Chains A and B, each alone.
Chain A
Amino acid sequence: MLFEKVLYPFDGKKASLEVKPYVLKLKEAGCKEVHLLYVLVPSEWGILAKEEYDCIEKIEALKAAIEEGFVDALLRMFKKMEEVASEFEKEGVKTKVVMIPGELDEVISEYAKKNDVKLVALGITSESLSFFRVGKVLDIIKALDRPILIVKSPEEEG
């Protein structure tokens, strides 16, 4: 099945939201499972213990290691991702929400392999502030060994 399991890297910005309707539509072509992944890049979040942060408890446990403000920001992101995930669940698509520390290309390609993802759906803006810029996206595509759907959003971030 070509689209059975989709990895949807998500950073909450407009560009990554533009992909959502495409992934939802792929349900009709056999998509049964969507994984929302937020990569905790060191330049933004510092070095965090390499773990799959996939529930509130694991994120809250970070309070021992990093500033509370950061943990709250992570919790907000996690909830936002769960909201998006619920839109898929409503359509009968299984979801998983996870945050993983590391560089974008490494984390995304490793995760895709490990979870036998069939397609990666990336939302990008050509030169905007979003973290999926074209240059970075080329690194991600090169690191991946499976198909990638690239959705460009025409407008800059507000």
Chain B
Amino acid sequence: MPLFKKVLYSTDFSPLAEVALEYVKKLKEAGEEEVVVVHVVDDLSVELPEGTDLIKEKEVYKILPEVDQEYLLDLVERLNSIKELLEKENLKVKTYLKYGNIPKQIVSVADEEKVNLIVMGAHGKGLLTELLLGSVSTDVIREAKCPVLIVKRREE
């Protein structure tokens, strides 16, 4: 059984998502070989088709205002630095920057890439820091077909 062979790491670049990255690295010892890093944007000033791939479909940038373009390029850079970090650990890495409904896109990349596990934080950048379980995590737990590792930080 592949179990932890191919892992999807979903990040909103929040501190807790960074903690989740430690788990992604650690799973290498349990047979992990490939990591798919995913970030989803739903807040551009122009509506794009659901599921637009903002790394591959470069032509859509032309219809976006400059602020959006800069915002997206910054996100691509952030994804690339995570990619480099994981490649240093000798993992194979793919990145996705998707447009659309956040949990829906995470689950759809998980399906397409046939990952064995999704790793994510229990909450993220949401304003309610005391939130026990964010809406994105809740929906991914409901909809994902594969196992999900929800990372929480212990209150010290």
Q: Which residues from chain A sit less than 8 Å from chain B, CB to CB?
A: 2-3, 21-22, 25-26, 28-30, 126, 134, 137-138, 141-142, 144-152, 154
Whether B145 is near chain A, meaning CB under 8 Å from some CB there, is yes
* B21-51 contacts to A (CB < 8 Å): 22-23, 26-31
Contact with A along B93-126 (1 / 0, CB 8 A): 0000000000000000000000000000010000
B27 to chain A, nearest CB (A): 6
Residues of B within 8 A of A145 (CB): 152-155
Contacts of A22 in B (CB 8 A): 3-4, 147
Selected A-B contacts with CB under 8 Å, 16 pairs:
A2-B23, A2-B26, A3-B26, A21-B1, A134-B141, A134-B142, A141-B133, A142-B132, A144-B152, A145-B153, A147-B150, A148-B152, A149-B149, A150-B148, A150-B150, A152-B145
Distance in Å: Cβ of A50 to nearest Cβ of chain B: 24
Closest A residue to B19 by CB, please name it: A147
A-side interface mostly: mixed
Cα-based distance from A149 to B119 in the complex (angstroms): 9
- Compute how far the CA of A147 lies from the CA of B120 in the bound complex, rounded to whole angstroms: 10
Check B29–A146 contact: CB distance below 8 A.
no
| Known pairs A2-B22, A150-B147, A150-B150; A25 contacts B133 (CB<8 A) | no
Interface size on B, residues (CB 8 A): 29
How far, in angstroms, from A93 to B116 measured CA to CA in the complex?
24
The 3 closest A-B pairs by CB, nearest first: A29-B30, A142-B132, A29-B29
Tell me which residues across on chain B come within 8 A of A151, comparing CB atoms: 147
Assess whether A146 is in contact with B133, with CB atoms less than 8 Å apart. no
Residues of chain A contacted by B150 (CB below 8 angstroms): 141, 147-150
Q: Does B144 contact A (CB under 8 A)?
A: yes
Q: Report how far A150 CA is from B4 CA in the complex, Å.
A: 13
CB–CB A138/B152 < 8 A: no
Contacts of A137 on B, CB cut-off 8 Å?
Answer: 141
Contacts of B138 in A (CB 8 A): 138
